[in-house]
Chains A and B, each alone.
Chain A
């Protein structure tokens, strides 16, 4: 079955540490890829997106992600996290010419001051 897998359920780290969240998908064909962030009690907001072109995508708040087609992966990174990055992070995949946006289970990131 087609799916989106996020490797970590909960990540705890200290301020200034580097963050990497894994995301793999099992869809065949061309895909669009997204990372959304959900701060406590809020709605989902887009961090970054990949539709085509440069597989290294830069988003808001210092986040970036790399699309590696051969590995079906779209991992999210941030070199130095802040306390305000505490949130839940969702990877999402949409197959081109289809319309369903499917989400991974989410990773809760807790940044300790």
Chain B
């Protein structure tokens, strides 16, 4: 398996633009997580899905952030409109949570909003 795949790896956008981050989890994993990493706040869980259904989105900072998982192999995190303070590395992770398996992380998307 290729692991968790995220795209793009880097994104530079202007303030006010819409940004869409993409994630392909490991096949068969039924949990998908979106994290944001910043120097100030470390790793924050934004939202997670189980079997494509959003379970807990309490970490989503504002209504400008939204996430979807239309099927088991694809998820998006959208920011509209983007602001400079959204600049961060966004990680997607997936897992079975079968009592033996850890969460696997993607390479991340480094977002810069100018």
Interfacial residues, chain A to chain B (CB-CB below 8 A): 32, 34, 36, 42-46, 49, 51-52, 90, 94, 96, 99-106
Q: Which of B45, B106, B108 sits near A101, CB closer than 8 Å?
A: B45
In the assembled complex, B14 has its CB within 8 A of some CB on chain A: no
- Which of A44, A49, A51, A106 is packed against the most chain B CB atoms within 10 Å? A44
Q: How many A-B residue pairs have CB under 8 A?
A: 45
> Is B114 an interface residue, CB under 8 A from the partner?
no
Q: Which residues of B contact A34 (CB under 8 A)?
A: 102-103
Do A100 and B48 have beta carbons less than 8 Å apart?
yes
A52 surroundings in chain B (CB, below 8 A): 99
B18: A residues at CB distance < 8 A: none
B93 cross-chain contacts in A, Cβ below 8 A: 44, 101
Residue contact A43 to B108, C-beta cutoff 8 Å: yes
Q: State which of B43, B99, B104, B107 has its C-beta within 8 Å of the C-beta of A103.
A: B43
A106 to chain B minimum Cβ distance, whole angstroms, is 6
Contact flags B47-73 to A (C-beta < 8 A → 1, else 0): 010100001100000000000000000
Whether the Cβ atoms of B106 and A43 lie closer than 8 Å is: yes
